[in-house]
Structure 1
Amino acid sequence: MNAQSISMIIPSRPTSDGDGVKIRRVPMFDNRATDPFLMIDELLSDNPDDFIGGFPPHPHRGMETLTYLIHGSLEHRDHAGNQGMINSGGAQWMSAGRGIIHSEMPAREMQKLHGFQLWINLPASEKMQPPKYRDVPAEEIPQANGNGWQASIIAGDWQLDEQHVSGPLNDLAADAAYADLSLAAVASVQLTVSPQQTLLAFVFEGQLDSTPEAPEKSMLVFPQGESVRLSSTHGARMILLRGTPIREKVVHYGPFVMNSIEEINQAIADYNSGNF
């Protein structure tokens, strides 16, 4: 089985966020090859001390988040009055737009948490739009199955071998698409990618056959606009991301993602003065 060529490997690194939640993070804020994606965090622990503090109220502006859970429960609340709980297999999408203050808290009785939060950039024309929010329960997420592979299609349209499957979230920024793909040992799947689109895979279990070989818990960046055949000798599971590059300057400070330092300073001033 031929190895898939990749253009870049970005390893994840252990860190913490919120109220001491332990995560593995792939930062991509300054990486043109991963545009429009800014960051992905993996939350994985069977020790409640690692995650029970959750993410108390905090602000965002100029970006979107997509949170997907494999195991566990998280409750979202925000200052616009939105509230929702997702459980294993579900997803939450939030477009911060001009400003949102929200919290994401795990269920108190939970003994294990495994999930991912993705940050997607918003183009300058959309950074000051009203915020949006949507819960997607597991039963609304379509499943696709093929010869040695299976996938949960969370967002966007995907062409997997001969199957075309659409997820329930279809209005993410930059035509972003998101899927959870599992490959059995000695299995492969063909992904069709539109020209000029970015394709990434965060491999969180096992390994893909690739040149160069990538360690587990790494983000793989594929040549832009090329359809690829993914294969794994021993099996692998990954988050697939696809999107259209925005090609704008990214200025990032904490929870704010804008196009200039002046806009960052304005975001800080607006938050401190209660003008979100």
Structure 2
Amino acid sequence: MAIRRIKQILQSHPSSDGDGVKIQRIHGFDNGLFSPFLMLDELKSDNPDDYIGGFPSHPHRGIETLTYMLNGHFQHKDHMGNTGELRDGGAQWMSAGRGVIHSEMPAMSDGKLHGFQLWINLPAAKKMLPAQYHDFQPEEITEKAFNTKNLIRIIAGDLTIKGETLTGPLQQTGVPTTIADWQAGSGETFGSCLNPDFQAMLYVYKGEIEVEGTTVIAGQMAILDQGEGLSLSALKDSGVLLLSGIPIDEPVVHYGPFVMNTMDEINQTIQDYQNGTLIDD
């Protein structure tokens, strides 16, 4: 079985979004190796001034978002009447489809705030479907503890470990994906089988890991080559997001919160938003 190695390492960079919320961001709108994912934002702070304004009401079209909180709460409200508040360890998924207008407001838990939002592209055939939303509280996330210092949490899709397939609660996505969180102490290892048709990447949010002889540190995204096997070693106490999915071989045109396939579609989306016809009432 071919073990995946690292093809490329991307460094996150400081940015801000919403009402001045400070984040670390990695985006791959123009990077085919990143597909089907588009962007990953990491929100981490113990200072309320970094995020207190949150993400007031704003639109999206053509993407899905997955928000995952390690520490802190995250409140979602949208035009469909959905309201969800994540607790530590929970996740929420939203498919914007043809259009959604929502707000997202983070809040500390025990003086900590640490979470992620992932943008996932939608294929052209699904970009204009009705919007959807689901949240998953921490007790709904699939977990497998190998010992007290080695834990895998499966948020979306399926992951096979030592012949056992673990299934996450999120299966209803626009493109097949597997999204997981590996939390490990120094010296721990992790191995799994991945779908060979999936592109895969690792985001290290804590510590330092080794992938087939290459070191990846906190704040870096490792893009993996093709293969079926994955083998990781924690060089320090570490946390790693595993992101994998079927790549979408279509043009990507990005304008703010909108991701479509052509500039004409982007212009139509802007016009729809200005005319109040972006969303389904």
Q: Tell me, in whole angstroms, the C-alpha distance in 2 between the residues paired with 1:108 and 1:138.
A: 16
Structure 1 stretch displaced more, 227-236 or 134-143: 227-236
User: CA contact under 8 A between 1:4 and 1:231: conserved in structure 2?
Assistant: no
- Whether 1:179 and 2:180 are equivalent positions in the alignment is yes
User: CA contact under 8 A between 1:207 and 1:232: conserved in structure 2?
Assistant: yes
Q: 1:265 aligns with which of 245, 264, 267?
A: 267
From the superposition, tell whether residues 53 and 133 of structure 1 become closer, same or farther in structure 2 (CA, over 3 Å). Answer: same
AA in 2 matched with 1:96: A
Give how far 1:234 is off: 2.5
User: CA contact under 8 A between 2:178 and 2:244: conserved in structure 1?
Assistant: yes
Identity of aligned residues (%): 49
User: CA contact under 8 A between 1:207 and 1:234: conserved in structure 2?
Assistant: yes
Give how far 1:212 is off: 3.8
The CA deviation string for residues 152-193 of structure 1, in whole angstroms up to 9 with x for no partner, is: 111110112343211110121221121110122222111211
Aligned length: 274
Match of 1:170 in 2: 171
Match of 1:151 in 2: 152
Q: Tell me, in whole angstroms, the C-alpha distance in 2 between the residues paired with 1:152 and 1:191.
A: 13
Q: How does 1:11-26 map to 2 (within 5 A)?
A: 11-26=11-26
Q: Secondary structure at the match of 1:174?
A: coil
Structure 1 stretch displaced more, 32-41 or 223-232: 223-232
Q: Tell me, in whole angstroms, the C-alpha distance in 2 between the residues paired with 1:161 and 1:236.
A: 21
Match of 1:209 in 2: 210
Give how far 1:81 is off: 1.3
The CA deviation string for residues 170-221 of structure 1, in whole angstroms up to 9 with x for no partner, is: 1212211211101222221112111221111100111111344333211111
Q: How does 1:182-201 map to 2 (within 5 A)?
A: 182-201=183-202
> Aligned-pair RMSD on alpha carbons?
1.7
Q: How does 1:1-276 map to 2 (within 5 A)?
A: 5-107=5-107, 111-146=111-146, 149-210=150-211, 211-276=213-278
Q: Tell me, in whole angstroms, the C-alpha distance in 2 between the residues paired with 1:99 and 1:69.
A: 24
User: CA contact under 8 A between 1:191 and 1:230: conserved in structure 2?
Assistant: no
User: CA contact under 8 A between 2:4 and 2:228: conserved in structure 1?
Assistant: no
Q: Tell me, in whole angstroms, the C-alpha distance in 2 between the residues paired with 1:113 and 1:217.
A: 16
Structure 1 stretch displaced more, 166-175 or 209-218: 209-218
Q: Tell me, in whole angstroms, the C-alpha distance in 2 between the residues paired with 1:81 and 1:112.
A: 29
Q: Tell me, in whole angstroms, the C-alpha distance in 2 between the residues paired with 1:81 and 1:258.
A: 25
**Which runs of no fewer than 5 residues in structure 1 stay unpaired?**
none
Q: Secondary structure at the match of 1:267?
A: helix
**Which runs of no fewer than 5 residues in structure 2 stay unpaired?**
none
Give how far 1:109 is off: 8.5
Q: Tell me, in whole angstroms, the C-alpha distance in 2 between the residues paired with 1:53 and 1:223.
A: 39
Give how far 1:108 is off: 8.1
Normalised by the size of structure 2, how large is the TM-score? 0.93
User: CA contact under 8 A between 1:48 and 1:112: conserved in structure 2?
Assistant: no
Normalised by the size of structure 1, how large is the TM-score? 0.95
